[in-house]
Chains A and B, each alone.
Chain A
Amino acid sequence: MAGDFGASPGFFTAIPLVFGVFFVLVLAFMIGSVVYAIRASRRRRESIAAIVTTGGLSYVGEDRTLVDAFVGAPFGTGSHRRARDVVAGKHAGAPFQTFAYSYETETRDANGNTSTTTHRFQVTWIPAPAPFPHVRITPDSGWLRAFGSLAGHDLNTESAEFNARWRVRAQDERTAHAILTGPMIERLMRADVRDRAIIFQGARLMSFAPQATDLTELNAVVGMLQDVAALIPPFLISDLNPEP
C-alpha cells in the first residue's frame, strides 16, 4: 500500500512532469541562445555596414592572407583560423585595417568527449613608421596573460604603476626601452588602452582585444594606435629605417 513506502501516488506522477518542464526550459534556453546569437551577429553586420558606408571604408568578407600575416599569439594557434569582416580605410589621413580573427581549439574531458571552443578577437593595425623588432605590450590581466609570451623575460620600467598594469616582452630589449618613454608610458596608462594588447611587429603596429566587435570603437582604437606611433622617439625611427 502506498502508506508503507511513505509517498503518495501523486509524487510518482509529478516526477515525469518535473522532468518535462525541465526539458522544455532547457530546450527554450538553447533555442533562445541560438536566436540571440543570430540576432547579435546580424546587428553586428548591420553596424559594420553602416560604419563602412558612412566612413567611405572598404569591406571584404574574408581574407585568408591575413591569417598568417602576424606572428605570435593569438595568431598561429588552434585550427580553422579565419580573418573575416575586413575593413580598411583612413583615419585622420592615415591608413588602417581591422578584422575579426578567430580560431578553434579542441579539448577532451576525462570521459573522452571532445568539445570545440571558438576564440574571437578584433585586430586593428596601422603601418608603423619603421620596421620594428617584435615588442609585445599586453595587460597583466587574466585573459591576456597567456598571450604575452615571447622569448625572454618581462621588462620592468621605472614606473611601478606601469609594471603592475602591463607586461612587456621584446626580441630586443634596448628597442623596447627606447619606445617606453615617459610620455608613452603616460599614454598607455590611460583608460582607453585598458584590456588591449599593443604589438610592434615589423612594419605594423597592431592592437587586439577579445571578441569581434561591431566597430563602434574603431575611431578610438585607430586614434590610440596613431597616438602611440606619434610618441615613438624620432631617433629610433631614424635608426630602424634602412638607409636610402
Chain B
Amino acid sequence: MLEFIIVLAVVAVLAAWAVGQYNALVRLRNLVQESWKQIDVELQRRHDLIPNLVETVKGYAKHEKGTFEAVTEARNMASAPGSTVAQQAAQENVLTQALGRLFAVAEAYPDLKANVGFQQLQQELTNTEDRIAAGRRFYNANVREFNTKIEMFPTNVIAGMFHFVKAEYFEIEDQAVRQTPEVKF
C-alpha cells in the first residue's frame, strides 16, 4: 500500500512538472507569435509609405527610372504574403538597400530635400524603421528564450512529445536613424 502511494506521488509530481513545462512552452510560443505580429504591422506600415515616397521623388527626378523600379519591385516582393520569417528578413534587406539608393538620389535634389511632404515621409519612415528594430529585438529575445527551452533537457522531452519546433530569428540590417534634412536658407 505504501509503495503504491509513493508511486502515485511520484507520478503526480512528474505530471505536474510536465504540465508546467508544457504551459511554459505554450506561453513562450504565443509570445513569439504575438511579437512577430507587432513587427508585421510595422513592416506593413513601411510598405504603405513607399508608394507615396516614390511618387514624391519622381516629381523631382523623373529620369531615375531604374531606382524607382527597384524600390517598387522590392516593396512588392516584401509585401507579398506567405513568406517565412527568414524569407521576410531577406526581402526587407533588399528593400532597405533599394531605399538607400532612393535616398541617395534625393540627396542630389535640394528642392526635393526641402519639400515638406518629403521630409514628413522620411521622418515617418525613420520612426517606422526604429519601431521595426525595437520589435525585432523583442521578437529575437523571445525566440532565443523559446528555442533554448525547447533544446534544454528535460524540457526537450515535453517539446518533442508535443511537436514544438524552434522559431526563426528575424535578422535584418538595422538602419541608422535617418536625420530629417535640415532646411538651410
Stretch at the interface among B65-73, B85-93, B138-146, B152-160: B138-146
CB–CB A158/B138 < 8 A: no
Any A CB within 8 A of the CB of B131: yes
How many chain A residues touch B (Cβ–Cβ < 8 Å)?
16
Residues of B within 8 A of A238 (CB): 127
Any B CB within 8 A of the CB of A224: no
Any A CB within 8 A of the CB of B64: no
Closest to B140 in A: A158
Residues of B within 8 A of A234 (CB): 127, 130
CB–CB A235/B130 < 8 A: yes
Q: Which of A152-196 contact B (CB under 8 A)?
A: 155-158, 173-174, 177-178, 180-182
Which of A174, A180, A233 interacts with B130 by CB under 8 Å? A233
Which of A174, A182, A235, A236 interacts with B138 by CB under 8 Å? A174
CB–CB A157/B137 < 8 A: yes
Closest Cβ of chain A to B124, distance in Å, is 10
User: What's the A-B contact tally at a CB cutoff of 8 Å?
Assistant: 37
Q: Which of B96-138 contact A (CB under 8 A)?
A: 127, 130-131, 133-134, 137-138
How many chain B residues touch A (Cβ–Cβ < 8 Å)?
15
Any A CB within 8 A of the CB of B174: yes
Residues of B within 8 A of A181 (CB): 130, 133-134
CB–CB A182/B130 < 8 A: no
CB–CB A182/B174 < 8 A: yes
CB–CB A155/B127 < 8 A: no
In the docked arrangement, what's the CA distance between A177 and B145, Å?
14
Q: Which of A17-49 contact B (CB under 8 A)?
A: none
CB–CB B137/A180 < 8 A: yes
Residues of B within 8 A of A235 (CB): 127, 130-131, 134
CB–CB A155/B141 < 8 A: yes
Mask for A181-223, Cβ within 8 A of B = 1, else 0?
A: 1100000000000000000000000000000000000000000
Closest Cβ of chain B to A181, distance in Å, is 7
Q: Which of B139-185 contact A (CB under 8 A)?
A: 140-141, 144-145, 174, 177
Closest to A180 in B: B137
In the docked arrangement, what's the CA distance between A174 and B140, Å?
11
A-B contact pairs, 16 of them (CB 8 A): A157-B137, A157-B141, A173-B138, A173-B141, A174-B35, A174-B134, A177-B134, A177-B137, A178-B138, A180-B137, A181-B130, A233-B130, A233-B134, A234-B130, A236-B134, A238-B127
Name B's A-contacting residues (CB within 8 A): 35, 38, 127, 130-131, 133-134, 137-138, 140-141, 144-145, 174, 177
Name A's B-contacting residues (CB within 8 A): 155-158, 173-174, 177-178, 180-182, 233-236, 238
Instruction: Known pairs A156-B141, A181-B134, A233-B134; list 6 more (Cβ under 8 Å).
Output: A156-B145, A173-B141, A177-B141, A181-B133, A182-B174, A235-B127
